[in-house]
Each structure stands twice: as structure tokens, then as C-alpha cells.
């Protein structure tokens, strides 16, 4: 039975900071993945596929403002980022933020390569993909750091 936020298995209420520490320091918990994808249907498909692989999806951010908001929460272990999150291709800037925070991630894109040379070593999941290719990409992205 999953625990409700802020409670132990016996129902005891914990301070939020202790609850957060318990959940983030628990090596048995599934790695948490933030998905940044502008296309709603692809984002929801990614959510379902990543969850089926045994990961916990913290959020699907569909635009730059929500992506930046989710990144500021620092409640995830890795991310999948669409390079073309918007017309200005702000996925590259999101990548720079994640790199600066030392958060592992991979690109999800229709492009066959990263747009910026500085991101050439970032794992890339090229659309279209299947669950086996996604599984390999998520493992590669989360193990990158």
C-alpha cells in the first residue's frame, strides 16, 4: 500500500522536510523522471510508457514556463527533454539548466542530432520510437551522470 504524503506506514504524521528526506534517500524507490514535451499526446504517451518501465513520472511539462517551474522544484532524478519545446527551440536552454544543476537527462526529438554542439554527448531518443528504444534511452540518460 503506498504511503500518503507526510505519513509513515503506521499513519504517523511527519514534518515535510523529514518526509521528503525519507522518500528521496530511499534507494528502493523508483527513479523520478520529469518529461518536457510540448505535444500533449506525445507527452501523455511518454508518461505512460515511462511509468510502465517502472519509473515514477513527476510531471509532464508542456511548455517552457511549466518546465522551468518544475525544474526549480528539484523533485526528480532525471528528465526527458524535447529540443523543440517551442518555436525558439528552448530545449537547448533547458538542457543548459539541467547540466548546470548536474541533473541527468536525454533529448526526445524528431531531429537526428542535438541542435547545439555542446550537447552532442547527451543521449538522444529520436521520434518515432518504441518502448524498447525508450527503455534504453531512459537508462542511458539516468546513468549518464
Euclidean distance between the first and the last CA atom of the chain, given in angstroms as a whole number: 32
Please indicate, yes or no, whether residues 128 and 105 belong to a single structural domain of this protein.
yes
Please indicate, yes or no, whether residues 90 and 40 belong to a single structural domain of this protein.
yes
Please indicate, yes or no, whether residues 47 and 109 belong to a single structural domain of this protein.
yes
**Other C-beta atoms lying within 10 Å of the C-beta of residue 60:** 22
Question: Distance of CA 34 to CAs 12, 47, 131, Å?
Answer: 29, 9, 17
CATH code, domain carrying 126 = 3.40.50.2300
The reported pLDDT for the residue numbered 9 is 44
The reported pLDDT for the residue numbered 87 is 79
Please indicate, yes or no, whether residues 135 and 100 belong to a single structural domain of this protein.
yes
pLDDT for 19 beyond 70:
no
Radius of gyration of the chain (CA): 16
Please indicate, yes or no, whether residues 70 and 51 belong to a single structural domain of this protein.
yes
pLDDT for 48 beyond 70:
yes
Q: Average pLDDT of 64-70?
A: 95
Question: What is the domain count for the chain?
Answer: 2
Average pLDDT, the chain: 83
Query: 19 or 88, which is more confident?
Result: 88
22-36: pLDDT as tens digits: 555 555 678 999 999
What residue numbers bound the domain in which 88 lies?
31-142
**pTM score of the predicted model:** 0.77
Amino acid at each position: 500500500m503506498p504511503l500518503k504524503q507526510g505519513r509513515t506506514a503506521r499513519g504517523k504524521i511527519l514534518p515535510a522536510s523529514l518526509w521528503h528526506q525519507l522518500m528521496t534517500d530511499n534507494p528502493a524507490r523508483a527513479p523520478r523522471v520529469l518529461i518536457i514535451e510540448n505535444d500533449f499526446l506525445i507527452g501523455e504517451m511518454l508518461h505512460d510508457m515511462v511509468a510502465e518501465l517502472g519509473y515514477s513520472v513527476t510531471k509532464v511539462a508542456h511548455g517552457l514556463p511549466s518546465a522551468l517551474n518544475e525544474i526549480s522544484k528539484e523533485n526528480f532524478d532525471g528528465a526527458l527533454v524535447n529540443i523543440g519545446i517551442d518555436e525558439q527551440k528552448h530545449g537547448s536552454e533547458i538542457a543548459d539548466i539541467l547540466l548546470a544543476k548536474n541533473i541527468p537527462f536525454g533529448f526526445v526529438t524528431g531531429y537526428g542530432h542535438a541542435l547545439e554542439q555542446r550537447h552532442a554527448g547527451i543521449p538522444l531518443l529520436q521520434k518515432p520510437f518504441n518502448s524498447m528504444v525508450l527503455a534504453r534511452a531512459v537508462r542511458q540518460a539516468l546513468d549518464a551522470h
